[in-house]
Chain A
Amino acid sequence: MVNNRGTAVVEFSISAVMVVMLILMILSVAYFYFAKVTISNSGYNALICIAERQPKSACQRRAKKTLEKHLPLGHLDQVQLKQSNSWFRVNINWTFFNDHKVHYSKSLRY
């Protein structure tokens, strides 16, 4: 008779690590996707906000507040709003674990 207990422990730990890694990976992908949608939505709202001629600082503050509230993980690098006589523009940069970056840029011409 062979003792299989040691093999079972090794198999269990390998499988457990793999399952945990898989869950973490799925959660990260989901969070990243959620972040992209949230950034695009906040960016669009900020763009409409300056197009409505609300104070630029207020629009910027609102977008920052929303992003920081909804995306506690990751770092918000920049929320920039620009306007000229014929266009409005928003730029948002967000970093997730240093190497995954989300850049959102949209302009509205009138």
Chain B
Amino acid sequence: MMTNEHGFSLVSFSIVLPLILFIVLSLLFSTSLLFRHRQNQHVCQKEVLQLQSQQSHHLRQLLSLNKKAQNLRRQRKIANKVLNKALQSGQPKAIIAAKALQWAIKSQQLILRNKQTTIITQAKKNMAQSLKRIKHNYSKNQVFTTVQNHPLSLPVIPQGITSESPTYHPRPNIEKWQIVALSWSWPLPKPWQRWVNYMNIKSKKLTGQCAGTLRKRNRQWREELAAYH
């Protein structure tokens, strides 16, 4: 009896083909999930760094005014002494000149204080605006929520607060204080969800977290990624 053996390869392939297809599809699926996760994580990191970059800019601006503030405080002390001496001497011309000097310095101090307040307010406003923008702008499925964000104001402590021109210094432990952490979630598209059901995975969304802070580098405060667990 003659048998036809030509169909063997075809039969083998039809058995193997689903296996190959399953492997290829699983690989493509897991790879695209990994890349999507990384892409979303990258967006999160970019946003958090951008936000901290604004804050570092304001912090640098504020700290750069410290020298002038110190000088004005010193000048004010001298002007006060000059006025006291003039008052003791009782000479009207000397008193007027001393008072004029004191007022000139005081007005400079007030202008400087106004600048400092503007920077602090602007930093606070920018932080709030940025967080609002991040939460509302990402309608492309990626949903952001703030995990940790207590520093809505610049991380500085004023010194000489009773003076018209205080100096501002970075808080101790600023790296921890300034951490802004965002968490994100990305619901899987419907065709993917079917695949997830098939693979028996419970979660139907990708999630992640990122954080940024300020750190001193090369004598300047700069934005950096931070660990947040």
Q: Quick check: is A57 within 8 A (CB to CB) of the other chain?
A: no
Specify which chain A residues have a CB less than 8 angstroms from the CB of B5 in the assembled complex.
Answer: 7-8, 11-12
Q: How long is the Cα–Cα vector from A51 to B225 in the complex, in angstroms? A: 6
Main secondary structure of the interface of B (DSSP, over half): helix
Q: How long is the Cα–Cα vector from A53 to B217 in the complex, in angstroms? A: 13
**What are 26 A-B pairs at a CB distance below 8 A?**
A4-B3, A8-B5, A11-B5, A12-B5, A12-B8, A15-B8, A15-B9, A19-B12, A19-B13, A19-B16, A30-B23, A30-B24, A34-B30, A37-B30, A48-B41, A48-B45, A49-B227, A52-B224, A52-B226, A53-B224, A53-B226, A53-B227, A54-B227, A85-B217, A85-B218, A110-B222
Interface residues on B, range: 20 to 34
Q: Quick check: is A104 within 8 A (CB to CB) of the other chain?
A: no
Q: How long is the Cα–Cα vector from A26 to B5 in the complex, in angstroms? A: 25
> Closest residue of chain B to A55, judged by CB?
B227
Specify which chain A residues have a CB less than 8 angstroms from the CB of B227 in the assembled complex.
Answer: 49, 52-54
Q: How long is the Cα–Cα vector from A44 to B5 in the complex, in angstroms? A: 52
Q: How long is the Cα–Cα vector from A17 to B193 in the complex, in angstroms? A: 38
Q: How long is the Cα–Cα vector from A37 to B38 in the complex, in angstroms? A: 12
The answer on a CB contact under 8 Å between A48 and B27 is no
The answer on a CB contact under 8 Å between A8 and B9 is no
The answer on a CB contact under 8 Å between A48 and B225 is yes
